[in-house]
Amino acid sequence: MSGRKTINDFLSEDLIDITHLLTLALGQKKEQLYTDSNYVLTNKELKRLDELIQQRQQGKPFAYLSGSQGFYHLDFKVSPATLIPRPETELLIDIAIDLFKPNQLIDVIDLGTGSGVIAITLANKCPSWRISATDKSKEALKIAKKNTTKDINFYHSSWFDKLTGKTFDLIVSNPPYLAENDSHLESLKYEPIEALVSGKDGLDDIREIIQNAPKYLNQGGYLLLEHSDRQQKEIVELLKLSFVNIVTYQDLNGLDRVILAQVR
């Protein structure tokens, strides 16, 4: 990349996410790029942009280049230690806030909080809910703590390990659920494997959560889980042992992606 190049020169090239990459390299808002489109980039800016273009072309997700990702109504810091929050996970928020009133005094825990999106979004929407969150990754918890402006109890814990004696009205989780040999893993190589994979059939963590959840739920309490579109039937069978009122929810593509159940 050499010579005098303007913003417009880059905007007219067919490069993935070029508008967003220009905003990062120049520290400008998207609108400014169009009003200053004849601006000639300095050598330093060109070098930075070139690095970003290369990383993006190698498949690094834009969220890891920018260090942030929008979720529901908020913006969250992310790092390679955290999963990039996905729009499907917003369904968990919609379901949770329909279960209880925002001003009810209830206890909620988000298991495997990652960047903290579920716990923090719920804390923002429902100020009276007492919210806790766990993750077994210390690095992810550091990011979640940076993201929160609310009072959330964070636990460095493998699922329920550090929660002895505590009970909740709602346990919500987007746990790892891909099988070890899932074909999507190649395209997810920049994201932490511990956030994605859960044994041979992708259900190891979901089995553990379902098996232990009843001990940690108050009477009539709910378990709300995200899962892959091929796991619904097996999860219903696992839930039937200790749960009733099992309801499956579909994502915007009509695929079964979330399950809600009430402890018996």
Ligand X SMILES: C[S@@+](CC[C@H](N)C(=O)[O-])C[C@H]1O[C@@H](n2cnc3c(N)ncnc32)[C@H](O)[C@@H]1O
The binding site for ligand X (CB under 6 A) comprises 83, 85, 89, 112-115, 117-118, 134-137, 140, 158-159, 174-176, 194-195, 205
Phi, psi of 240, deg, nearest 5: -55, -25
Which residue number, 21 or 231, has a Cβ lying nearer to ligand X? Answer: 231
Minimum distance of ligand X from residue 92's CB (angstroms)? 8
Q: Round to whole Å and give the CA distance between 107 and 78.
A: 26
Minimum distance of ligand X from residue 81's CB (angstroms)? 8
Which residue number, 140 or 259, has a Cβ lying nearer to ligand X? Answer: 140
Minimum distance of ligand X from residue 175's CB (angstroms)? 6
Which residue number, 26 or 114, has a Cβ lying nearer to ligand X? Answer: 114
Question: Within 13 Å, how many C-alpha atoms sit on residue 250's CB side?
Answer: 4
Q: Round to whole Å and give the CA distance between 216 and 211.
A: 10
Residues 6+ apart with CB under 8 A from 58: none
Q: Round to whole Å and give the CA distance between 113 and 249.
A: 21
Per the listing, tokens 């346990």 go with 171
166 CB burial (10 A radius; 0-12, 13-18, 19+):
middle
Minimum distance of ligand X from residue 138's CB (angstroms)? 10
What are the angstrom distances between the C-alpha of 89 and each of 53, 202, 257? 29, 18, 9
Which residue number, 46 or 227, has a Cβ lying nearer to ligand X? Answer: 227
Q: What is the DSSP letter of 178?
A: B
Which residue number, 45 or 194, has a Cβ lying nearer to ligand X? Answer: 194
Minimum distance of ligand X from residue 163's CB (angstroms)? 11
Which residue number, 13 or 139, has a Cβ lying nearer to ligand X? Answer: 139
Minimum distance of ligand X from residue 247's CB (angstroms)? 20
What is the token pair recorded at 122? 């719920």
